[in-house]
A and B are shown apart, each in its own frame.
Chain A
């Protein structure tokens, strides 16, 4: 299912890329281009709280719209997570890697697709409860979600 989603997303994004390259715009108009699931229209004002815990220990707590992906949340709220979401949710970069608590991981409505697992396999510090933030859609249920953003470097290598 996610695969199909990604596919339908990639075309408008392409236009976005072209437009953006030209004008060199910012991420602020990103949201209007990404079509959100239409079933969420009725819920559009409902918000949940999510907290990103960064690898330097800093926490970023924010209000997020139900129906948004974690990537949308980072982009729309201008959260300062360096390099996050390089491919803009098209499942080709793994920079949106997050680690969840086991119980949160278990209660996500969708299991990761093969394509998501393929990308996760590239990430440093992969765990059994790792996911890609661009593939997690917020539901009401997930209010209070705490998300750990892992280190992007492999210290063993350096």
Chain B
């Protein structure tokens, strides 16, 4: 008996006995799965439908986490366990705001939780930002991770010098992927297309530009340690960037202290570049804000004009950076912008402010809520803003799910019919369910095997659907 039949049978049995609560989760990333984990365990007679824009689940675990960090992706095993529970369903290839509207979900479910993340890149808003080879880090990450929307990325890696604007973990991911020996990358699930481009990369000098100082970097220590230990790479710091930092160290909280100490240690080791040609050079620089991109007549980037900043204030947390009149030119033929993300307003009936959905402990603050509409919740990056690692997203999702558990005890409106109503509204032929994902998964793993990779991702939505719908491939 297929899983689907089992699920259907169980559903009929349980709905015959008791009122089933219908909950819809929009977005199959970590926030959605962690919330489902909590709800499926703690709410009785609940049916959870996870709706996802792509035919495949896992959000940034699949399309953000770097290919050389497969361990981080082990969490997929916990999510798979959640998805396999009889009262949890995955419906891929359904986009909120396009295939289905928020109002429709709120009419047919008892509660709706939005966890669709923060997919848009933040812009600097400076001159020539649209020049060629000014690349959004998020697009670059999506490209090497096989995200279907990023496969047309135009990137030219023939320049010797490149710059990354921003000093967070994604910036370090980009740096590491650019500098990791290509044969190490070949063993990961990075796409073949990215591999062949990266193999030709000429980048040997890479700047990591921060607005503020070493005490304010946003990356975490694990990622920095990894970068400092990279084979064939030397890190070169700037002489004056660490003035006065050492005196502050004893007063810092432990995480910031250890991170700063690691930078100081690397800084003090100095740069013994015996043979420059052997190494790729990594150059973090501080107190610089991009003012404008410099371009040639073909509108290709040739450099960045940087304003020199000074920090004002005594406390490292609240220090403000102000631009001075001094500027500096950084010549480079490739720039990555990695200064953060923002969410999009997926549906025009959704309240939206400053790049997030305004909420109180996950309850969406919207005033046009009518009685008959399901209560609306938000978790993950869509609610918290695009900060924090999976651990933090998990904590937030559990917290919101707890609030939902309490609220679901007091649902007043009539019984809702959940997905059966939704599938009447939209064209259900296009939907990819969990079995479909398992076919895709199996196919990708098989495609990877001959190349010695854990998987070769399908980078095209139509191909994904084709594989998912291939009925003669039985899942054992």
Contact = CB atoms under 8 A, between A and B. Distances in A.
Interface of A: 10, 13-14, 16-18, 20-24, 26-27, 80, 82-83, 86-88, 90-95, 114-115, 117-119, 121-124, 126, 151-154, 157-158
Contacts of B73: 17
A21 B76 contact: yes
B260 to A, nearest CB: 12
B258 interface: yes
B2 interface: no
B74 A13 contact: yes
B165 interface: no
Nearest to B225: A118
Which 8 residue pairs are nearest across A and B when measured between Cβ atoms?
A90-B71, A121-B255, A153-B395, A152-B395, A86-B75, A118-B222, A88-B74, A92-B71
A27 B84 CA distance: 13
B398 A153 contact: yes
Contacts of B445: 18, 21-22
Q: At the interface, is chain A mostly helix, strand, loop or mixed?
A: loop
B292 interface: no
A106 B276 CA distance: 46
B266 interface: no
B78 interface: yes
B258 A121 contact: yes
B310 interface: no
A93 B398 contact: no
Contacts of B71: 10, 13, 87-88, 90-92
Contacts of A82: 37-38, 41, 398
Contacts of A124: 392, 395
Nearest to B400: A158
B361 interface: yes
Contacts of B225: 114-115, 118
Interface residues of B, number: 44
Interface string B419-442: 000000000000000000010011
Given A22-B442, A114-B225, A158-B399, A87 B81 contact: no
B255 A153 contact: no
A63 B391 CA distance: 28
A93 B258 contact: no
Contacts of B75: 86-87, 93
Contacts of B255: 121-122, 126
Contact of B221 (A10, A17, A87, A121): A121
Contacts of B476: 23
B220 A122 contact: yes
A27 B77 CA distance: 8
Given A18-B445, A20-B80, A22-B438, A118 B74 contact: no
Contacts of A121: 220-221, 254-255, 258-259
A86 B395 CA distance: 13
Given A23-B476, A82-B398, A118-B221, A14 B391 contact: no
